[in-house]
Amino acid sequence: THCEISGVTDNKFESDEACLDYIKDIFSKVGDVPKAGFNREKSKQPKLNQEDIYGILPNDPVKPYNMLEVIKRLVDDSDFQEYKALYGKTLLCGTARIDGWAVGIIANQRQAVKSKTGEMQMGGVIYSDSADKAARFIMNCNQRKIPLVFLQDVSGFMVGSKAEHGGIIKDGAKMVNAMANSVVPKFTIIIGNSYGAGNYAMCGKAYDPRLIYSWPSAKMAVMSGSAAANTLLQIKVAASKSKGEEFSEDQKSAHLKEITDKYNEQLSPYYAAARIWVDGIIDPLESRKVISMGIEAANNAPITEAFNVGVIQT
């Protein structure tokens, strides 16, 4: 009726396959549209064996490892041009190529490092100097039209009086400001821990990355399972005391185990994926393909918005 009498539709087909083939043929003749213009060269495989990643990541999420070794197995020719390598060392920032595409990478260094001032800094924690470095790097990438890739294994921002006196609040806000106002495409891979405010600073779901994927080793929550369980137990014990009830040590242990088991279940990337907190769970060796496909898709939409972070307190 609609093909022959009303003229509402253009054609009719014997099968879905025939219809899809016809649609493909239509789009094969469509003229080019403006591109975003992200830089791409001929793709190169990493020089280092990508499968080494499986051995670099420890089974225990608390144990340190060198994130730089992971990066070198993800980027073309294992070539990573690090930005401010001697400053703010708990965050690795630098440019590289993934499947030929130029990218800016921000990754959490999981090794403990020592700053030039003599301060020992814990791996996976964002300090004032690393937040300051990341903010500058993110702004540079926006000015140069380079897509951003965040590799998360973060415990959160540094806390305590020393960190407060050092300006962690303003420096952390500066990093979040630059990241949140970025106009270049952002892509996030959750490699390990993704806890608390660190999730936000490293472009978590709330900050609208084009794609956010996790590896099977990822853990996402407000805090680690053991820390959360102890906190929740303290609240439960305090509430019981206010009612005149006392917990024995055996009861405390039983409650702690119950809370820890439940919380650890919710740390799972499968729990997160089931609630669409991430777009999916991928094998680490699929990361290059996923990021490349994301940038290729994003390249079809020109950047029309100006990069403007407003007033940044320095």
Domain coordinates in residue numbering, the chain: 1-31, 35-218+278-298
Helices H / strands E in the chain, number of each: 11, 12
Question: What long-range pairs does 79-84 form, CB within 8 A, spacing at least 24?
Answer: 80/105, 83/133, 83/137, 83/140, 84/133, 84/136, 84/137
Of the listed ranges 110-124, 169-183, 238-252, 278-292, the one predicted with least confidence: 238-252
How many Å apart are CA 61 and CA 69, to the nearest integer?
17
Confidence bin at 263 (pLDDT 50/70/90): confident
Kindly report, residue by residue over 166-211, the tens digit of the pLDDT: 889 899 999 999 999 999 999 999 999 998 889 999 999 999 999 9
102/81 Cα distance (integer angstroms): 11
pTM: 0.85
Half-sphere exposure of 16 (CA within 13 A, CB side): 0
Residue 226 pLDDT greater than 70, yes or no? no
- Please say whether the beta carbons of 93 and 82 come within 8 A: yes
Instruction: Please check whether the domain covering 35-218+278-298 is classified as CATH 3.30.70.980.
Output: no
Point out the least confidently predicted range of 12-21, 131-140, 228-237: 228-237
- Least-confidence region, from 52-56, 95-99, 148-152, 237-241: 237-241
The CA distance from 247 to 145, in Å, is 59
